[in-house]
Amino acid sequence: MNSDWKLGLEQTGAMEIVNGTRADMAAAVRRGADLRLFLVARGYEETLYFQQTYAGADDEFAGLMTHHHSHTHRGQTLDEPYFSFFKYDSLGDFSHVKWMSRTRVLQEPQPYQYGTYRWYVCDRWRVVYQHDKNGNVVAGDLEELKDLLRQGRSLKVGVDNFFNLSDVRSKGPPHICFLKVMQPLIERGHVGANCDFVLRGAPRWPWSWQDEITLGMVWPWSSGEIIGHWVAPGSLPFNRQTFRCGMQWLVADRA
């Protein structure tokens, strides 16, 4: 059986490249390609599914796991699950934050190297509509986007400079984050999207959750608005904020 998932980059535990290039992987992520990572760890193998992706210039890309939930902690079974937020990139570093019950938060980056890193992409998305932060059309057709959503097509949203939203004190390099959607909406002439949980980090590259992490529940709109409730893990309550961003609206050409 043919698979839409293609090996884009393979690295050894020492981060030596044996297949593909970082630049080609980053280019695929900038096109909105889905991203997965296969790892050989100590005593087990795993494949990570990323709900959010990050692509910067040249060979900069990362995958974010935005709502992983765990039932054990440091080998011990727990009575209550907790959130884990992961960030992986091709430089060999990964960040891990655990938001335990109530307000307890732990930074859990693990320094050991995996035996192999295999980055897979599924390059199945097409930009149907693109606008600037004021909602002015840059490319594509908003009416086509609406028609495709009425046909039940899958949607993904790319937000320009997502880590540089106007509430941060410093700005970082240009980048785009692609967010998965669980509920598209057509209302008042625009397309909106109820997204999965999203994560923002420090506005720099490379970045770590040890520098900064914010969890959001967001609604981007084709008007340029992105409405969200944001919180630093462990620092309830959520804070409602609205920003304006340039965005790309992508529809999957294959299931």
Q: Is the pLDDT at 106 greater than 70, yes or no?
A: yes
Greater pLDDT, 127 or 72 = 127
pLDDT-derived band at 112 (thresholds 50, 70, 90) equals low
pLDDT-derived band at 114 (thresholds 50, 70, 90) equals confident
Q: What are phi and psi of 111, to 5 degrees?
A: -80, -15
Q: Is the pLDDT at 167 greater than 80, yes or no?
A: no
Q: Which two tokens stand for residue 227?
A: 């409405």
Q: Which two tokens stand for residue 79?
A: 């009575």
Tell me, what's the pLDDT at 214? 96
List, in order, residues 6 or more apart from 95 with CB less than 8 Å away. 85, 86, 87, 107, 109, 201, 208, 209, 210, 213
